[in-house]
Amino acid sequence: MLYALNIHSNSLTMKPKLLFTGLLLSLSLGHVLGQIQKHTWMIGGDMNLLMNIYDRQDIGFILVPTVGYTVAKNLVLGINMTGEYYYSFDDKTYWGGFGIGPMFRYYIGKKKLMPFAYFSYKGEIGFYSNYEDTSWDHSLLPGVGLTYMILPSVGIEGLLTCHVLEYYKTLQFHIGLQVYLPPNK
């Protein structure tokens, strides 16, 4: 849910109400601590800030909203959506793209600090400022992550992925927030 925070000045008055409501909802849904039960929904996302200062002067960001469902204890299957934007200061061009694809996570352990294995496949459409056409691409994203449960149903995470495309590979570090909605009993 990190991707949904709005920094526009006209929304600053809504932030305390939204944060307080979210905190109350998280506390009321807290049935598990560090164990992702079967039939639990996972809603959230992560973000990544990209900077290339070695061979080019580029900057960019990736926002990744995520929805998943626990099909077995600690095994989450779901969908990742991505929004990406890159700008090159060298040649004053930009690239943007939107993607979607399946993902899975397998959490290890039952504690406040839970490592997980991650894998995602993504199809993506992109657009360039210096071309009139768009591009279609697909990529694999294997990775490992670590979730710290700050509340029984809310985790802050770090995720390291290897973004594997046809023509290059990059390591990316994402920071995010996930909310786990356990089943009603």
pLDDT in the model for residue 20: 45
- SS3 call for 31: coil
pLDDT above 90 coverage of the chain, percent: 39
**Which pLDDT band, with edges at 50, 70 and 90, does 110 fall under?**
confident
pLDDT in tens, 45-84: 999 887 766 666 778 888 999 999 999 989 999 999 999 8
CA–CA dist 37, 165 (Å, integer): 33
Which regions of the chain does DSSP assign to beta strands (E)? Answer: 41-52, 58-72, 75-88, 93-107, 113-128, 134-151, 154-164, 169-181
Query: What domains, with CATH codes, occur in the chain?
Result: 2-181 (2.40.160.20)
pLDDT of residue 132 exceeding 80, the answer is no
For residue 25, is pLDDT > 60? no
Q: Enumerate the H helices of 124-173 as residue ranges.
A: none
Q: Where are the alpha helices (DSSP H) in the chain?
A: 15-28
The length of the chain in residues reads 185
The reported pLDDT for the residue numbered 54 is 60
Better-predicted residue by pLDDT, 166 or 96 = 96
The pLDDT value recorded for residue 28 is 38
